[in-house]
A and B are shown apart, each in its own frame.
Chain A
Amino acid sequence: QVQLVESGGGVVQPGRSLRLSCAASGFTFSTYGMHWVRQAPGKGLEWVAVIWYDGNNKYYADSVKGRFTISRANSRNTLYLQMNSLRAEDTAVYYCARGAIRYFDYWGQGTLVTVSS
């Protein structure tokens, strides 16, 4: 069965960096696009970034462009999100999700990132 397990969340000061990971299993990771989606406390879902199956194309939400970098290691079945210059408004649960062309068919349980001094 498809499993996505995020890790790497925690408390970080504004302006610092953090890297999230998402370990995938139960499917052929290298043939799917992968996404990050976040949810601020008590708020709705916000799409963050996508990386195509081969890593050759990446797209970002305007709110994170230039600060966040999505990447993947198909040999390790792992998705990453490098988050730099973090702000208080980046505080959220970050989900990785498998992409099925234009929607998200499987989601992980999420990892909480708190940006606070």
Chain B
Amino acid sequence: SYVLTQPPSLSVAPGQTARITCGGNNIGIKSVHWYQQRPGQAPVLVVYDDSDRPSGIPERFSGSNSGNTATLTISRVEAGDEADYYCQVWDTSSDQGVFGGGTKLTVL
């Protein structure tokens, strides 16, 4: 089955840029989606189809995908961005959803 690899944690200072990576074999040919999960809350979709944002998601959130790595970029990080972030793809060979292990973003 398809495997997605994320760094377990990332720390950034307020106002800086956070880049969260998601590695997978030839992930660049897949559509990658990203979710934010704040403590005690349900996940929220923040980027879909590599780089599109749902309505209501700030422009500070952006995504890219190429080769073996997809990246979620959060510009001008704020305290409220502190959360777990998960990447996700759909494995069409098995018709199964696949999540990365998640990255805990800490705002210093």
Is B10 part of the contact surface with A, judged by Cβ < 8 Å? no
**Closest CB-CB distance, B43 to chain A, in whole Å?**
6
- Say yes or no: A44 contacts B42, CB within 8 Å: no
Q: Residue B71 at the A interface, CB < 8 A?
A: no
Q: Mark B75-107, 1 if CB is under 8 A from A, else 0.
A: 000000000101011100011111111100000
Which of A45, A46, A60, A103 sits near B90, CB closer than 8 Å? A103
Given contacts A47-B97, A50-B95, contact A103 B88 (CB under 8 A): yes
> With contacts A44-B101, A105-B54 known, is A95 near B43, CB below 8 A?
yes
Interface residue tally for chain A (C-beta within 8 Å):
23
The size class of the interface chain B forms with chain A is 20 to 34
> Given contacts A45-B35, A108-B42, are A50 and B97 in contact (CB under 8 A)?
yes
Minimum C-beta distance from A37 to chain B (A): 7
Residue of A37, A107, A108, A109 touching B97 (CB-CB under 8 A): A37
Q: For B33, give the chain A residue with the smallest CB separation.
A: A103
Given A102-B31, A102-B33, the answer on whether A107 and B43 have CB atoms closer than 8 Å is yes
Flag whether B61 is at the interface (Cβ < 8 A): no
- Contacting residues, chain B, for A59 (C-beta < 8 A): 94-96
Check A35 for interface membership: any CB of B closer than 8 A. Answer: yes
Contacts of B95 in A (CB 8 A): 50, 59
The 3 lowest CB-CB distance pairs between A and B, nearest first, are: A47-B97, A102-B90, A103-B33
Question: What are 23 pairs between A and B in contact, CB < 8 Å?
Answer: A44-B86, A44-B99, A44-B100, A44-B101, A45-B37, A45-B43, A45-B86, A59-B95, A59-B96, A62-B1, A62-B96, A100-B48, A102-B33, A102-B90, A103-B49, A103-B88, A103-B90, A104-B35, A104-B45, A105-B45, A105-B48, A107-B42, A110-B42
